[in-house]
Amino acid sequence: MPRLTTIAGNALTSLKRFEDAFVAYDKALSVKPELVGAEGTRLHAKLNICDWTEFDNDSAHLGSSVRNRKPNAGPFAFLSISSSPDDQLRCAKLWVAEKFPAPQKASWQGEQYRHDRIHIAYLSADFREHPVSFQIAGMLECHDRSCFDVTVISLGPDDKSEIRQRLEASCVRFVDVETVSDEQIASLVRSSEVDVLIDLMGFTAGSRTGVFAERPAPIQVNYLGFAGTMGAEYIDYILADRFVIPEETRECYSEKVVYLPDSFMANDSKRKKSERLPRRSELNLPETGFVFCSFNNSYKITPHTFNIWMRLLRQLDNSVLWLSSMNETAIRNLRREAQNRGVDPSRLVFAQRLPLNEDHLARHDLADLFLDTLPYNAHTTASDALWAGLPVLTCLGETFAGRVAASLLNAIGLPELITTTPESYERKAIDLATHPEKMAIIKTKLADNRRTTPLFDTKLFTKHIEAAYTAMYERHQAGLAPDHIVVPN
């Protein structure tokens, strides 16, 4: 019965019926408190509807469960709850041992491939209108085909979108395996003699970690889609940078760390931004007044971050907080939470989803400052904002997921927007919002740096990631075990 209820909760989650999913998970837990993963999915469902009742107690209990070696949370749900890289490693290891143990016999049996080009393959279910696709499209197009044979393996549906068509045209081969088993995909990878297999999903929705558990390739890499360790012995490397994984925390990652220069995040310099800019009134924003913005998913908003945001609104008359459109329960709960903190709920404005990404990028011009979340930062949403010319203010966290925005800001030459405590984050936000001349200097600097710094230099980034793949490959060809790698500028 509890297992069936959990399956129902998962189905409701996939339909974005988070309130109903929470009820299902809650019921399953009440019957079987130790049900694998249920405690984490229950709390994640609560965060999706911005229900913060017992948030601190729930978070502390889940962290304690993980430290007591109970697989009570999936690693993805745990990213927005935990601020400890140690605990995130424990969580991932427990999950892999429970859900994705390596079979006794691996698909790849130690054969040495001899290719004229390094065979790399990217695996994901998100080759569609999805943030990961918008991030990597330019990189795929820039790969040096004289040195790399590139395959894209698609686990998800073909949405017939423009970005899907662009991805299909960007590589040597694009393989659709949506209806194929993990074992069959592993067999395909093995028979294709892939040298480097890159997982662009980790533990995100639709992932197929079981493929990697089969060990179909000699080198297997965790990159981009999941901001944390996989905790699996069959994942050799994680692509990162000095900001997201400082040397002092790399023992909290089961993978060997490959340090890319600048930022680990791929970006597409060809992204379009619509020339049409709507008026503020068209989007329910005030014609005058400061617009704080945070286009993050609802599960990234914690009560502690929201407390800061509401203090900002109380201190700055006529300011508003512009958020992404969410499920109706989350909107209702956030409006109630605002009112409980002495803020008129109408000062929370929700941006509806737009069909075209270029229109979404353009509307960033109507905001004044993007406010980041913690412990789970904005990732693609922060990159979007910076590409669109909107400054991002972040607070440096302890985990990979909590340090991404700082990585982006460093790579675009705006370290002054990286704060290190919630108090300094709040002070900086007020300082910028109340000193238009300081805000103007930051925006001018961002506009200048956008085209001249490494963050959005797709060709340069591709050279760096190719150097990373080459270093991994050369170690393997030399008979050496994976080790930490630093890619030079």
Q: What is the pLDDT of residues 407-466, one digit of tens each?
A: 999 999 999 999 999 999 999 999 999 999 999 999 999 999 999 999 999 999 999 999
For residues 234 and 253, what is the distance between their CA atoms, to the nearest angstrom? 13
In the prediction, which pLDDT does 3 show?
66
Longest dimension (CA), the chain: 67
Under DSSP, the state recorded for 219 is: E
pLDDT score at 9: 87
Which amino acid, one-letter code, is at 39? E
The DSSP secondary structure of 425-457, one letter per residue, reads HHHHHHHHHH-HHHHHHHHHHHHHHTTTSGGG-
Cβ–Cβ < 8 Å for 479, 251: no
pLDDT the model gives residue 19: 93
Yes or no: say if 409 and 420 are a contact pair by the CB < 8 Å rule.
Answer: no
Angstrom distance (rounded) from CA 369 to CA 392:
6
> Among residues of the chain, what percentage have pLDDT more than 70?
99
Q: What are phi and psi of 239, to 5 degrees?
A: -85, 125
- Extract the tokens encoding 17: 């019926």
pLDDT tens digits for range 105-145: 999 999 999 999 999 999 999 999 999 999 999 999 999 99
Residue 324: other Cβ atoms inside 10 A: 17
**138 in Cβ contact with 160 (< 8 Å):** no
Cα distances (Å, whole numbers) of residue 166 to 129, 163, 272, 471: 11, 5, 14, 28
Beta bridge partner(s), residue 320: 291
Q: Is the pLDDT of residue 1 over 60?
A: no
What's the pLDDT score for residue 4? 58
Q: For 307-323, what is the mean pLDDT?
A: 97
As a whole number, mean pLDDT of residues 327-355 equals 97
Report CA 158 to chain centroid distance, whole Å. 22
Q: How many CB atoms neighbour CB 40 within 10 A?
A: 26
Q: Report the distance separating Cα 470 and Cα 487, nearest Å.
A: 10
CA geometry: angle 28, 29, 32, nearest 5 deg: 90
- Mean residue pLDDT of the chain comes to 96
Burial annotation 138-177 (CB, 10 A radius, 16+ → b, else e): bbbbbbeeeebbbbbbbbbeeeeeebbebbeebbeebbeb
Query: What integer pLDDT is reported at residue 408 of this predicted model?
Result: 98
Map out the domains of the chain with their CATH numbers.
2-99 (1.25.40.10), 118-269+459-486 (3.40.50.11380), 280-455 (3.40.50.2000)
300, 387, 392 from 348: Cα distances, Å: 16, 24, 19
Residue of 269, 224, 8, 232 whose CA lies nearest to 126: 224
pLDDT in tens, 205-233: 999 999 999 999 999 999 999 999 999 99
- Strands in 23-147 per DSSP E: 118-124
Which residues, 6+ apart, have CB-to-CB distance to 166 below 8 Å? Answer: 137, 141
- Write out the two tokens for 23: 């009820």
Average pLDDT over residues 23-33: 90
